[in-house]
Amino acid sequence: MSQRDAFYVTTPIYYVNDVPHIGHAYTTLACDVIARFMRLDGRRVHFLTGTDEHGQKVEKAAREAGMEPKAFTDQVSERFRELLRVMDFSPDDFIRTTEERHVRAVQTLWTRMVEGGWIYLGKYAGWYSVRDEAYYAESELVDGRAPTGAPVEWVEEPSYFFRLSAFQERLLRFYESHPDFVGPATRFNEVVSFVRQGLQDLSISRTTFRWGIPVPGDPAHVIYVWVDALTNYISALGYPDVDGELFRTFWPADVHVIGKDILRFHAVYWPAFLMAAGLEPPRRVFAHGWWTNEGQKISKSLGNVIDPHALVARYGLDQTRYYLLREVPFGQDGDFRHESMVRRINHELANDYGNLVQRVLAMIRRYCEGRVPDPGELAPDDEALLARAHNCLAAMRAHMEAQALHRALDEVFGLIGEANRYVDAMAPWALRRSDPARAATVLWTLAETIRHVATLTLPFMPQSSGRILDLLAVPAAARTFRALGAEGQPLRPGTPLPPPSPVFPRYVEEDAG
RNA sequence: GGCGGAGUAGCUCAGCGGUAGAGCAGCGGAAUCAUAAUCCGUGGGUCGGGGGUUCGAAUCCCUCCUCCGCUACCA
């Protein structure tokens, strides 16, 4: 829909108190793949992630650790930066809510909303548990006590409110004119029906703790969660400098990728805040689903939390990246199963993809002196396979624009299957004797197809795909989508190739021997 | 309760008005270039139940059953 050159994709900022788990890895992975794809497609990309470091829980955790909050968050936010390295993510920026640039942005946004008349001072009232240091909703109470069993008391504190109620009609009109604003479509319905029910004003400041951004002009209040956290998407673009290069280039964001649990904040509150401050809402919010573990809901108490580091160590990085995006239609919930992981690694990566590369390169090694073969006149079969390779990008592009990452993968793997069938149908090992020139043409066609496949899988499996391109001696400058297609940069006959070696190892059960 | 979604081969799902499909699993076969990797053939499932519209319905309408999501201040 947006054919502009720039592309801005974001993850949520992760709550720094958490230990990174599969959910964080999954969200960031999706963004990484989108970002890499768009870069290879020639777009100017800005990929943002970061950490959310304010709030009462952080303040408390820091105290318990005997540290100042800032020093504490410096330490724990590192865990998220480490995940970026381990999973080979490629963000362009990492925003922390404790950074000066963010504080300035939040306070400015606040001030703009005040100037617009969208903020007023009122009282926040609710059931408060001193023991838990938290408010509970009426509906959460169990027999007049907190869900934790702690006693609660009715407490009122002064609080600033955002006039969310005034935005109902504007939001509904916005949704109506932007039917693609929320994906998947079923989530869009939820958002609209939520807003239709009517909106209450939002409490957006607290006086019960200090670890946060002070309200401009009233330092007794700290700006509460969502105004603080959501603003990261623009503070990283240099807001309030709306005339700056970054902001002008990248706002509004092309897509905020989030987990389904925080959809409302992104699809209702965030556009309202932006409208209140005179800014454009993002173009799209995409909510993905949750993982279960071998059919079980994941929870700390069950002790079945999935550690992304463990996945990478056990199955391999690209294997993990592939599985997470291939196993489940992006947007739906998924079940992580060792058995299906192994099946995909061994059948789809090792057998279908890896072995295609290996068998073709081994034949080129033996029949063509290890050089890119010289294609003669192309036969209709060759042209059909190449056409499919050339058209693959366009098909993937359409899916990537809609965050249908699984379908994009489907396209390339369809091409891999086609290539394997072509190998069997052409039988170059037989042609080698009957018609060597024809064998060379077939092998060139295959090598060229593999070049397309590997380039197209770069966003998903950057390391393995890179190794395949190494085996084809594709220069770094040609590892881009511009090099694909009929007008691209086909492999040059005669180019010497390195000896091939398997790229996707099979997974062998540890207890198998 | 309200709004929305889903119930199709053993499993995961696509199809959304014209005589039931894909992938995986299973069974049979071919090939031997390759990480024993590939390829071909093989799917009689009341398309949740019932009713209706239509020349014709997984596909539209009604109804019932079952399951799931959302229904506000929790990162």
Strand B interface, A 36-55, C-beta < 7 A: 52, 55
Cβ atoms of A35 and A47 closer than 8 Å = yes
Q: Give the C-alpha separation, A34 to A113, whole Å.
A: 33
pLDDT for A8:
98
Where do the structural domains in chain A lie, given as residue ranges?
6-289, 338-483
Q: Is the CB of A502 under 7 A from strand B?
A: yes
Query: Which nucleotide lies nearest residue A332, CA to C1'?
Result: B69
Q: Is the CB of A3 under 7 A from strand B?
A: no
Burial of A9-45, coded b for 16+ CB within 10 Å and e otherwise, reads bbbbbbbbbeebbbbbbbbbbbbbbbbbbbbbbebeb
Q: Is the CB of A217 under 7 A from strand B?
A: no
Strand B interface, A 386-405, C-beta < 7 A: none
Instruction: Look at A53 and A125; give whichever has higher pLDDT.
Output: A53
Query: Which nucleotide lies nearest residue A161, CA to C1'?
Result: B73
Quickly give A2 CA vs B20 C1' distance in Å. 39
Q: What's the pLDDT tens digit per position in A292-328?
A: 998 888 888 888 899 999 999 999 999 999 999 999 9
Quickly give A139 CA vs B61 C1' distance in Å. 39
Query: Which nucleotide lies nearest residue A197, CA to C1'?
Result: B71
Residues 6+ apart with CB under 8 A from A411: A392, A395, A396, A399, A456
Q: What's the pLDDT tens digit per position in A274-301?
A: 999 999 999 999 999 999 998 888 888 8
Q: How confident is the model at residue A32 (pLDDT cuts 50, 70, 90)?
A: very high
Q: What's the pLDDT tens digit per position in A442-473?
A: 999 999 999 999 999 999 999 999 999 999 99
Q: Which two tokens stand for residue A148?
A: 């934790």
Q: Does the ipTM exceed 0.90?
A: yes
Q: Is the CB of A134 under 7 A from strand B?
A: yes
Cβ atoms of A353 and A413 closer than 8 Å = yes
Residue A231 has pLDDT above 50, yes or no: yes
Residue A407 has pLDDT above 60, yes or no: yes
pLDDT for A149:
73
Percent of chain A with pLDDT over 70: 97
Neighbours of A364 (CB within 10 A): 25
Chain B bases near protein Cβ (<7 Å) = 2-5, 13, 24-25, 31-35, 37-40, 69-75
DSSP assignment of A217-239 equals TEEEEEE-HHHHHHTHHHHTTTT
For residue A288, which phi and psi values (nearest 5 degrees)?
-95, 175
Strand B interface, A 225-244, C-beta < 7 A: 225-226, 229
pLDDT for A1:
43
pLDDT for A133:
67
Q: Is the CB of A314 under 7 A from strand B?
A: no
pLDDT for A139:
66
pLDDT for A145:
75
Q: Which two tokens stand for residue A293?
A: 């573990």
- Mean pLDDT throughout A16-26? 93
State the average pLDDT for chain A. 93
Q: What's the pLDDT tens digit per position in A130-178?
A: 776 677 776 666 677 776 777 888 888 899 999 999 999 999 999 999 9
Q: Say how many CA atoms lie within 13 Å of A413 toward its Cβ.
A: 19
Query: Which nucleotide lies nearest residue A125, CA to C1'?
Result: B73
Query: Which nucleotide lies nearest residue A57, CA to C1'?
Result: B75
Strand B interface, A 422-481, C-beta < 7 A: 423-425, 427, 429-430
Q: Give the C-alpha separation, A472 to A489, whole Å.
A: 13
Quickly give A461 CA vs B33 C1' distance in Å. 26
Q: Is the CB of A406 under 7 A from strand B?
A: no
Angle, helices A380-401 vs A436-457, to 10°: value is: 0
pLDDT for A124:
87
Q: Give the C-alpha separation, A35 to A20, whole Å.
A: 21
Quickly give A373 CA vs B53 C1' distance in Å. 63
Q: Give the C-alpha separation, A127 to A145, whole Å.
A: 9
Instruction: Say which CATH architecture domain A6-289 belongs to.
Output: 3-Layer(aba) Sandwich (3.40)
Cβ atoms of A259 and A12 closer than 8 Å = yes
Q: What's the pLDDT tens digit per position in A344-371?
A: 999 999 999 999 999 999 999 999 999 9
Longest dimension (CA), chain A: 90
pLDDT for A480:
98
Strand B interface, A 14-33, C-beta < 7 A: 15, 17-18
Q: Is the CB of A301 under 7 A from strand B?
A: no
- Mean pLDDT throughout A419-437? 96
Residues 6+ apart with CB under 8 A from A126: A135, A136, A137, A154, A155
Residue A482 has pLDDT above 80, yes or no: yes
pLDDT for A140:
67
The CATH homologous superfamily for domain A338-483 is Isoleucyl-tRNA Synthetase; Domain 1 (1.10.730.10)
The residues facing A371 across adjacent strands are: A496
Q: Which two tokens stand for residue A287?
A: 């909510």
pLDDT for A454:
98
- Mean pLDDT throughout A105-124? 96
Query: Which nucleotide lies nearest residue A14, CA to C1'?
Result: B75
Q: What's the pLDDT tens digit per position in A376-400?
A: 999 999 999 999 999 999 999 999 9
Q: Is the CB of A130 under 7 A from strand B?
A: no
Please report where in the chains the tokens 């956290």 appear, as a residue. Answer: A229
Whose CA is closest to A454, among A469, A470, A473? A469
